Amino acid sequence: MESEDDFDMHDARDTHPNETTTTTTNNDNEDGVVSVEDDDFYSGDEDDDEDGETTNAFAFDSDDDADVADYEFIDNDSDDSDDFVSHRYQQSFTILSEADIRQRQEDDIMRILTVLSISKVAASILLRYYNWSVSKVHDEWFADEEKVRRAVGLLEKPVIEYPNARELTCGICFETYPCDRIHTAACGHPFCSSCWAGYISTAINDGPGCLMLRCPDPSCGAAVGQDMINVLASDEDKEKYSRYFIRSYIEDNRKTKWCPAPGCDYAVDFIVGSGSYDVTCRCSYSFCWNCTEEAHRPVDCGTVAKWILKNSAESENMNWILANSKPCPKCKRPIEKNQGCMHITCTPPCKFEFCWLCLGAWSDHGERTGGFYACNRYETAKQEGVYDEAEKRREMAKNSLERYTHYYERWATNQSSRQKALADLQQMQTVHLEKLSDIQCQPESQLKFITEAWLQIVECRRVLKWTYAYGYYLSEHEHAKRQFFEYLQGEAESGLERLHQCAEKELQVYLNAEGPSKDFNEFRTKLAGLTSVTRNYFENLVRALENGLSDVDSHGACSRTTSSKSLGGGSSKGRGGRGKGTTSKSSSSSRNIDDSSHWSCEHCTFANVKSATICQMCHQRR
């Protein structure tokens, strides 16, 4: 017999006949349900252009002014991409609207009632009890039907019967009513309409527990189905019950989740497998399936959780207080001194006057101790080591705060840049593309390269943002890994800035032009080239971080078990042959690389001088 997990995986792959299943790559689809084969933004594959030809990666020669770079196509060696493609993550998920969820519920209920030969109400109760797992219902039912009936409350015959009674006594209010005003569940316990309505209304207002409502009799476990809810509940309560019922299909199923974006009513059905958990909803919000935070590939969920907690925790406030203030010697309240002399007066009601340096009472200070801007007592005590521990703690707190601030500011800056890029992308799609098409006399279908550039910018900003969280938690003692990480991050960031500059600033020239521009095709080549190069930079960065920077061990030696493409997107042969070179940004600056005097490392893409036989970055032999 198959396990529950096996059955669940079968359920997840069942195709519902009413759904429109479309294969795409994280693109919105307005028609029907979208089943997404997520090849990931950084697939490393070659893209086909509109003419059916293969579009190869670009390489370019960068100097201090990236605007004067030359761009040309270089050949990709397909063999070099085999390793990466074999490790490429394939994910499948389906976006569900409310109508899709209702249809799935209906389909599952029909499957159960058909196989088990039970009523529709009983089938829905069974599925609800077993968290909407059809396979689990089948498994348990055929293993021990009587046990399932007792557990769920599906009685085969009434506990109490009144075959010839004209009047019955309500079990709650104990009033006698005609039989037409008495209602019973499958058990037969009689209750009047008003008591039933009050009982059901109270249960519905208490929350989703009403979906497993049982008979009001304390000794009875008979289930109360949706048929009785529809007859006895008010319209408002029926609407609430219906909402609970549809939400239970998503919230009680471990393979489905609601999109966490504010105001979004879509759900996601996810087929669990190895690889990326990034999901893009039809509302365009991307999130991590595993932790439901915003998409954060290539950083793992644990690092994201720590980073978010740190950003909101009080620990950084305490670090700031420790680094930038001193406690009043009398009341112990922290005091910040940002200017003025060493004579400090605490705020009321304390009003204690003391020396900022030695924290001694100011009454013991004066000209003899150095005046208002110095303290002989402090200098003497400092030389004797009295303040060593306190100063050490304060210095450590200050360094820690400065380090955190460094990474947080860059994390937040890239987040802001991404939000701005999203707004620019929307404006480009709704306004500027049509305008540019008219000015340059070209159809919008030939301007896709602009949209692709902006999509690349948005995604790269997201990745770059989370690399700063990764860098913050990267051990200071692993110098080789940190150097390799900062090199790859620097190269990726440099390429992204050039792409963003080109898409944001240089495009304005053509948007403001009076008519067609002769050099627009040159701009097309440049922007497409920058897009391709930037994507390749980030492919390398993403791959390295997902592998835990395993290409470099703690001694700075490169792992021989992995091989990756060069940052330019092609093989080392392609980069050393037709390519113009790459950029190195180990110190946040660009420099020219002459193909005749440099060679690019196949493993870490570092540009080495021609005379070197071992890579200066990863120490791998040429």
Instruction: Name the residue with tokens 């893409």.
Output: 605
Tokens of 518: 């002769």
How far is the C-alpha of 286 from the C-alpha of 294, rounded, in Å? 6
DSSP secondary structure, 75-122, as one string: ---GGGGHHHHHT---EEEEEE-HHHHHHHHHHHHHHHHHHHT--HHH
How far is the C-alpha of 435 from the C-alpha of 426, rounded, in Å? 14
Angle at CA of residue 96, ends 94 and 99, nearest 5°: 150
SS3 state at 344: strand
Q: What is the CA radius of gyration of the chain?
A: 34
Asked if the bond preceding 298 is cis, omega within 30° of 0, the reply is yes
204 neighbors 237 (Cβ within 8 angstroms): yes
96 neighbors 266 (Cβ within 8 angstroms): yes
Which DSSP letter does residue 164 get? T
Q: Which amino acid is at 469?
A: A
Instruction: Name the residue with tokens 């791998």.
Output: 620
Tokens of 55: 């579009």
Tell me if residue 341 is catalytic: yes
569 neighbors 608 (Cβ within 8 angstroms): no
Which DSSP letter does residue 552 get? B
How far is the C-alpha of 588 from the C-alpha of 584, rounded, in Å? 8
Tokens of 159: 């506990």
How far is the C-alpha of 249 from the C-alpha of 264, rounded, in Å? 17
Catalytic residue from among 341, 355, 558, 618:
341
489 neighbors 471 (Cβ within 8 angstroms): yes
> 54-55 and 176-178 as β-strands: parallel, antiparallel, unpaired?
unpaired
SS3 state at 425: helix
The catalytic site residues sit at: 341
